[in-house]
Amino acid sequence: MKYAVVNKTIGVLKSEPKDNSENVDEVLFGMNVEIIKESLNNWVYIKTLYKYEGYINKEALMISDKISKQWEKEKNVVVINSFADVLNKPEASGYQLANLTRGANLISTNHISENQKFVKVILPNSKIGWIRKNFISDLKKTYTIDGEEVLRENLVKSALSYLGTQYRWGGKTPLGIDCSGLCSMAYMLNGILIYRDAKIKEGFPIKEITCEKLKKGDLIFFPGHVAMYLEKGNFVHSSTSNDIVKVNSFNKYSDNYSDDLKKSPKIYGSIF
């Protein structure tokens, strides 16, 4: 097997090794992937850390076992702002070395600029740049449910950070995101890798629960759709009916009531 690091803003995973095939997922800058097999015309078939598979163009990757393994070990921050530029100097006038979205991974040197606004970071190609320090946070590679209430709050906060983002099939960024992309990114930003699609899958931390046990941060699975539960009958999701990430409600007296989803079959899932 070969290993690689995503070295483009977004690496689009395809159902087939060609540009005009269906988008199935997006892997973001600084994410590690495993190359399963080579394909035709500069395409490779890969597996992500969250066990999702698809075809990606080699141009989006830095293919090197040594670099990939070192990167996986040393990367320590994640972009939390919707978008963030990595600049060649710690000033707004610096030129852009990379344009990143929420979820991108970097190595922080913890070297803060004199103006206290930027932190020095390392890119997968070993280039050194500067990013606004309030645009990143510590990369969570593991999680614990000991502080359940705090984790639930953080899951909700992460999901709500995508409010207003357009619906994009296979999307996983503030440029466009689908239902399972929204939920999986909210969990990933908190160190939890769940299944990428809108269903509960064995081998992942989400387990089925009863409706009575449903709390904020838990997931609601509909046929071909998934949402994150908030409180008081409200949930956040990315849907084709709304065209954006939006909060809807099961409460028929609410202005954002969703009759279709209220009446739809449901399965409830939680890591707690």
Coil, strand or helix: which one is 18? coil
65-122 tens-digit pLDDT: 999 999 999 999 999 999 999 999 999 999 999 999 999 999 999 999 999 999 999 9
Is residue 220 helix, strand or coil? Answer: strand
User: Are 114 and 206 part of one and the same domain?
Assistant: no
Residue at 244 is within a domain: yes
CATH number of the domain to which 196 belongs: 3.90.1720.10
**Owning domain of residue 204:** 148-270
Same domain flag for 156 and 257: yes
Identify whether residues 166 and 247 lie together within a single domain.
yes
Are residue 153 and residue 261 in the same domain, yes or no? yes
Active site residue 225: yes
Residues 153 and 266 in one domain: yes
70 with 83, same domain: the answer is: no
Instruction: Give the pLDDT score at 169.
Output: 98
174 and 215, same structural domain? yes
Listed residues 53, 74, 95: the one ending a domain: 74
Q: Which of the following is catalytic: 111, 183, 211, 225?
A: 225
Q: Looking at the domain assignment, is residue 143 inside a domain? A: no
237 in catalytic set? yes
CB-CB contact of 68 with 5 (8 Å):
yes
Q: Are 96 and 32 in contact (CB under 8 A)?
A: no
Asked if residue 114 is part of any domain, the answer here is yes
Of 26, 59, 74, the residue that ends a domain is 74
What DSSP line would sit under 19-41, residue for residue? Answer: TTSPEEEEEETT-EEEEEEE-ST
- Residue 54 host element (H or E): strand 53-57
User: How far from 141 is each of 49, 64, 98, 201, CA to CA, in Å?
Assistant: 11, 21, 23, 21
Asked if pLDDT for residue 39 goes beyond 90, the answer is no
- Find out whether 14 and 27 touch, Cβ atoms under 8 Å: no
Q: For residue range 158-185, list pLDDT tens digits in order.
A: 999 999 999 999 999 999 999 999 999 9
261: in domain = yes
Known active-site residue 179: yes
Same domain, 169 and 226: yes
- How many structural domains are present in the chain? 3
111, 183, 211, 237: the catalytic one is 237
Do both 93 and 68 map to the same domain? Answer: no
120 and 47 assigned to the same domain: no
Domain boundary among 74, 100, 121: 74
State the CATH number of the domain containing residue 13. Answer: 2.30.30.40
- High-pLDDT (> 90) share of the chain, %: 97
Catalytic residue among 111, 179, 183, 211: 179
The pLDDT of 130-153, averaged and rounded, is 96
Tell me if 246 is assigned to some domain: yes
